[in-house]
């Protein structure tokens, strides 16, 4: 993978560009994709954002979100556009399998692949150009850097700002995580100067759910949480029946994993959701508890030091048993005792 600044001189020549991101895009994935979409469109490129899957309804407000193609619903059209792209930007993931069923399509496509991402252990051989920086708060911050460093900072506008701000608050827990640097706060000041209404972005993302979701959270915290005080860890599980009973949709479980971290002393929180095709894990931690390694080693996943995800094809009961077992065996290695 060559450094991304090699493509800066090429940005002035109009091209067909596809932007893609990880499956079930979160605010950082969708915000960085649409922020870059607006920027490249202003430069005169023909740009299409293709999401590997559907996404949470709380992202639909983002400017141009209605133009994003859901690959699972439009396979032929997506493949056609992907195959005719000169450039394929890959945002907020660093191994192709994170794009699920879209992965073979991206892999086969002839376009130049360009990575912008902040996760650990990038598969650099899959990309021709790119930037991978685990020190960055969010891919949105990196798209901002891309716009500024390529010499086009004057093109920043309110639409780009709203998209990028959404990803920043999503990935930094609204500026509370250590990755929220002075540079990031300077970036937000610059976004505010474009006319960004940050309060609206917070409301779109955090205050736009139905009553059922709050009742569901109440149910889960009351009946589906186990606290291991000896390991400073808490575990939440969600059954298929819970998802049906509360009519839970994509995005409704986002953020649930953070609740146990508000218990004094808890330094690792895990949640597993019994989805149709797999058991999907999320891990969050505080301080020196490395959930990237934990997820990678035991749950086919990875991510960041303090926030990672994984999966299991075992039953819910079995994957819960595995979690309890490895927690007990590795608690001291992971600094949980
Ligand atoms: P979440 O728990 O919100 O799904 O994901 C937490 C972080 O880990 C995100 O940055 C996400 O992109 C990453 N992540 C989630 N699931 C996986 C996975 O299965 N593999 C890898 N490598 N990263 C993941
Ligand atoms: Mn991210």
pLDDT tens sequence for the chain (337 residues): 999 999 999 999 999 999 999 999 999 999 999 999 999 999 999 999 999 999 999 999 999 999 999 999 999 999 999 999 999 999 999 999 999 999 999 999 999 999 999 999 999 999 999 999 999 999 999 999 999 999 999 999 999 999 999 999 999 999 999 999 999 999 999 999 999 999 999 999 999 999 999 999 999 999 999 999 999 999 999 999 999 999 999 999 999 999 999 999 999 999 999 999 899 999 999 999 999 999 999 999 999 999 999 999 999 999 999 999 999 999 999 999 9
What are the CA-CA distances from residue 177 to residues 23, 149, 181, 326 (Å)?
24, 25, 9, 27
Q: Which of 68, 70, 119, 67 is closest to 96 using CA atoms?
A: 119
The per-residue pLDDT for 146 is 99
What is the Å distance from ligand 1's center to 321 Cα?
Answer: 21
CA angle (99, 100, 101) in 5-degree steps: 110
What is the Å distance from ligand 2's center to 159 Cα?
Answer: 19
- Specify the ligand 1 atom closest to the Cα of 93: 12
What are the CA-CA distances from residue 311 to residues 21, 94, 319, 337 (Å)?
19, 17, 9, 25
Residue 335, phi then psi, degrees to nearest 5: 60, 35
Query: Do 144 and 135 contact (CB within 8 A), yes or no?
Result: no
**H or E stretch covering 21:** strand 16-21
The per-residue pLDDT for 247 is 97
**pTM of the predicted model as reported, rounded to 2 decimal places:** 0.96
* 3-state secondary structure (DSSP) of residue 281: strand
Cβ neighbours of residue 325 closer than 8 Å, sequence gap 6 or more: none
289 lines ligand 1 (CB under 6 A): no
304 lines ligand 1 (CB under 6 A): yes
126 burial (CB, 10 Å; 0-12 / 13-18 / 19+) is: middle
Percent composition of the chain: helix, strand, coil (DSSP 3-state, to 5): 45, 20, 35
The per-residue pLDDT for 318 is 98
CA–CA dist 19, 67 (Å, integer): 12
**Partners of 283 in the β-ladder:** 270, 308
CA–CA dist 161, 158 (Å, integer): 5
Q: Which of 141, 210, 132, 135 is closest to 169 using CA atoms?
A: 141
CA–CA dist 176, 87 (Å, integer): 35
The per-residue pLDDT for 295 is 98
Q: Return the CATH number of the domain spanning residue range 2-206.
A: 3.90.1640.10
Q: How far is CA 121 from the centre of its chain?
A: 16
100 lines ligand 1 (CB under 6 A): no
Q: What residue ranges do the domains of the chain occupy?
A: 2-206, 211-330
What is the Å distance from ligand 1's center to 109 Cα?
Answer: 25
* 3-state secondary structure (DSSP) of residue 130: strand
The per-residue pLDDT for 282 is 98
CA–CA dist 177, 27 (Å, integer): 16
303 lines ligand 1 (CB under 6 A): yes
307 lines ligand 1 (CB under 6 A): yes
Q: Return the CATH number of the domain spanning residue range 211-330.
A: 3.10.310.30
């Amino acid at each position: 993978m060559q450094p991304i600044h090699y493509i800066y001189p090429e940005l002035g020549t109009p091209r067909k560009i596809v932007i893609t991101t990880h499956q079930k895009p979160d605010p950082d994935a969708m915000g960085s994709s649409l922020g870059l979409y607006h920027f490249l469109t202003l430069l005169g490129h023909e740009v299409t954002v293709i999401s590997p899957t559907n996404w949470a309804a709380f992202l639909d407000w983002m400017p141009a979100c209605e133009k994003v193609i859901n690959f699972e619903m439009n396979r032929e059209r997506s493949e056609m556009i992907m195959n005719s792209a000169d450039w394929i930007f890959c945002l907020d993931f660093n191994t192709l399998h994170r794009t699920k069923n879209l992965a073979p399509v991206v892999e086969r496509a002839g376009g130049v692949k360009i990575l912008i991402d902040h996760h650990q252990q990038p598969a650099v051989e899959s990309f021709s150009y790119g930037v991978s920086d685990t020190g960055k708060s969010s891919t949105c911050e990196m798209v901002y850097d891309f716009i500024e460093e390529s010499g086009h900072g004057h093109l920043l506008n309110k639409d780009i700002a709203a998209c990028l701000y959404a990803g920043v608050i999503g990935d930094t827990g609204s500026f509370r995580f250590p990755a929220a640097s002075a540079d990031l706060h300077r970036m937000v000041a610059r976004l505010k100067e474009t006319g960004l209404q940050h309060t609206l972005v917070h409301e779109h993302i955090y205050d736009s759910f139905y009553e059922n979701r709050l009742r569901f959270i109440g149910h889960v915290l009351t009946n589906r949480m186990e606290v291991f005080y000896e390991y400073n860890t808490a575990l939440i599980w969600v059954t298929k029946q819970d998802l049906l009973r509360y009519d839970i949709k994509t995005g409704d479980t986002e953020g649930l994993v953070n609740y146990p971290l508000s218990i004094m002393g808890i330094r690792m929180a895990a949640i597993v959701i019994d989805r149709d095709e797999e058991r999907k894990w999320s891990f969050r931690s505080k301080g020196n508890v490395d959930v990237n390694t934990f997820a990678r080693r035991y749950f086919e996943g990875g991510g960041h030091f303090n926030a990672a995800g994984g999966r299991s094809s075992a039953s819910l009961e079995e994957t819960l048993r595995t979690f309890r077992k490895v927690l007990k065996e590795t608690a001291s290695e992971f600094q949980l005792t």
